[in-house]
Structure 1
Amino acid sequence: MGPNALRSSEFAYTALTTGGFDGVHLSSAAATLTHYVIGSTSSEAVSRKRSDEAATRSAVDAHLRAHIDEYPTLAGHFPLLDEDDWDAHFHRGMRLLLTGLTSPEARG
């Protein structure tokens, strides 16, 4: 862990302790946020690396529809994400994650 990772961790831990987290709950909440950020940025990097994201999405959509018996939920709700809308997608997901994150004390 270098200085950049430590600064990011300090920021997350400070925000979460201010919100009432401590002990194992603090560690779990910080890990959850960190994993969300890493997963989101990895997905975006892989997607942007492809030369034709629209063609890839179209091929996946066609495959899901051709195999709807295996993937009924995915075929009906294939991820809707504009190519250049990664920031909005990230922030929407983070808001969903944070609204579910409450400290044990806040839950009563």
Structure 2
Amino acid sequence: MSGVWLRPGRPARTGPPLSRDRIVAAAVELLDAEGVTGLTMRRLAERLDAGSTTLYWHVATKDDVLDLALDHIFGEVELPTGEAGSAGDWRADVETLLLGWRAAMLRHPWSAALLGRPMLGPNVLARTEFLVSALRRSGLVEPDLGAATHGLANYVIGSAVTLASARPEDTDSGPAAREHLAAQADRYPALVASGHLDDRDWDDTFRRGLTYLLDGLAARTGSG
């Protein structure tokens, strides 16, 4: 049986007051500070002031820690409750969820590198269930439902990956890059005219793009 989500939990053990919740919280702090490459089981044990043997009692592998940490940050994404989360405005629900998901990923830039891992944690599954349910309320059915779910998820992930991977030197080279493009305006007139390399409000850009996507889904289903 492979993966932390597919193995039964171990019974509580007497000794230092170490718990899976404490381990995950410390792992997220370490990942925020050092990124994925900075997380090792030795460094995590040191941060927890625990021995490696004690740590391995609670989590079998580093991969387990990464899976738990990734699911933990999905728990930061609030789900609309009450009427809006059951039978209300599907579009508002989807927008709220996706904006929250992107914000959580930007608070924890390392998360973008882990999204190819098995996404079977309770927080991930609850939010995916919410997204699919909201899209079903719009009138979407398979195969359009699956395409819309993955398309919206990929839009969020793509935005977060792009911003998370941006380097300071890339921003510093902005004027030179714009001059390089402007010098070739005859070859790239649309890019130059649109200010392709100009600085912009990326939050506003994301919201606009999301609006276009949701407009398309609404038109597809006639749900307004």
Once the two structures are TM-superposed, the CA of residue 34 in structure 1 deviates from its matched residue by 0.8
Q: What TM-score, normalized to structure 2?
A: 0.41
Once the two structures are TM-superposed, the CA of residue 66 in structure 1 deviates from its matched residue by 1.2
In 2, distance between residues paired with 1:16 and 1:81?
33
Once the two structures are TM-superposed, the CA of residue 40 in structure 1 deviates from its matched residue by 0.8
What residue is the counterpart of 1:74 in the other structure? Answer: 191
TM-aligned CA distance change 1:103 to 1:11, over 3 Å: farther
TM-aligned CA distance change 1:12 to 1:56, over 3 Å: farther
In 1, distance between residues paired with 2:168 and 2:178?
18
Once the two structures are TM-superposed, the CA of residue 64 in structure 1 deviates from its matched residue by 1.0
Once the two structures are TM-superposed, the CA of residue 104 in structure 1 deviates from its matched residue by 4.5
| Matched-pair identity in % | 35
Does residue 9 in structure 1 map to residue 125 in structure 2? no
Residues 11-59 of structure 1 show CA distances to partners (whole Å, capped at 9, x for unaligned) of 2101100111111010011111011101111111123xx2245433222
In 2, distance between residues paired with 1:6 and 1:44?
25
Give the count of matched residue pairs: 103
Tell me: higher relative CO, structure 1 or 2? Use CA pairs within 8 A at least 6 residues apart.
Answer: 1
Give 5+ residue unaligned stretches, structure 1: none
Matches within 5 A, 1:1-108: 1-3=119-121, 4-47=123-166, 50-79=167-196, 80-82=198-200, 85-102=201-218, 104-106=220-222
Secondary structure of residue in 1 paired with 2:143: helix
Q: What TM-score, normalized to structure 1?
A: 0.78
Q: CA RMSD in A?
A: 2.2
> Which of the pair has more CA radius of gyration?
2
Give 5+ residue unaligned stretches, structure 2: 1-118
Is residue 138–residue 221 contact of structure 2 (8 Å, CA) maintained in 1? Answer: no
In 1, distance between residues paired with 2:126 and 2:177?
38
Once the two structures are TM-superposed, the CA of residue 10 in structure 1 deviates from its matched residue by 1.3
Is residue 68–residue 75 contact of structure 1 (8 Å, CA) maintained in 2? Answer: yes
In 2, distance between residues paired with 1:103 and 1:68?
36
Secondary structure of residue in 2 paired with 1:23: coil
In 2, distance between residues paired with 1:18 and 1:96?
19
Once the two structures are TM-superposed, the CA of residue 105 in structure 1 deviates from its matched residue by 4.4
